[in-house]
Amino acid sequence: MFTGIVEERGEIVGREDLEEAARFRIRGPLVTSDASFGDSIAVNGVCLTVVELGDADFVVDVMAETLKRSSLDALSAGAPVNLERAMAADGRFGGHIVQGHVDGVGSVVSVSPSENWTVVRVAVPADLARYVVEKGSITVDGISLTVSSIGADAEYGDWLEVSLIPTTLAETTLGTVTTGVHVNLEVDVIAKYVERLQSAGTDGGQR
């Protein structure tokens, strides 16, 4: 499990496309400082398994299903990525519950900078919009953020906004995000459990 507090902005240093899979080599001196074979590291919010360790970098295998359901397939050498190690049992819970299981891919539709923060609007897949509430938690490319506004319009459909402080802009990939970029979204898992429990009360839990 993760908390959405990005520890390091890493970089894709190599990609090998395999049959129905891809292998990425990722530079991340901090997250590899105590990593071992088989450890979990979130890469842009996707929980991946370390299959090889190098000098300040690590290798992960990404299966076709993950490439299809996340924005990782668009990454190539040189791309920056947000990195977070799995939360230690005695660690501080700085963000919110993040599983590293991407629910869908959103698209950045506007970036509005101001003197002290930047507002980013992201188009949300219709099947995820019901889990997003104003002032609730959302994970965007592995970053735990607070939803500052929600809405819908004819051009983009459902959308959410997040307001980014200078530290988030400086320390994560959202600092250089532009319109049209796809981002991984993970909604608050508690909302999905509540929905499931409510439906169990009306249909006997049969799905």
- For residue 17, the model assigns a pLDDT of 96
Q: Looking at domain 8-85, which CATH architecture does it have?
A: Beta Barrel (2.40)
Residue 10: count of CB within 10 angstroms of its CB: 26
CATH number for the domain running over 104-195: 2.40.30.20
- For residue 199, the model assigns a pLDDT of 85
Question: Rounded to an integer, what is the distance from CA 35 to the centroid of its chain?
Answer: 20
Domain definitions of the chain by residue range? 8-85, 104-195
Tokens standing for residue 93? 């819970």
Distances (CA, A) of 117 to 49, 96, 156, 179: 34, 21, 23, 17
Residues of the chain with pLDDT under 50: 207
For the stretch 181-193, pLDDT in tens is 999 999 999 888 8
Query: Is residue 202 within a helix (H) or strand (E), and if so which, with residue range?
Result: helix 189-203
Residue 83: count of CB within 10 angstroms of its CB: 24
**Whether this model's pTM surpasses 0.95:** no
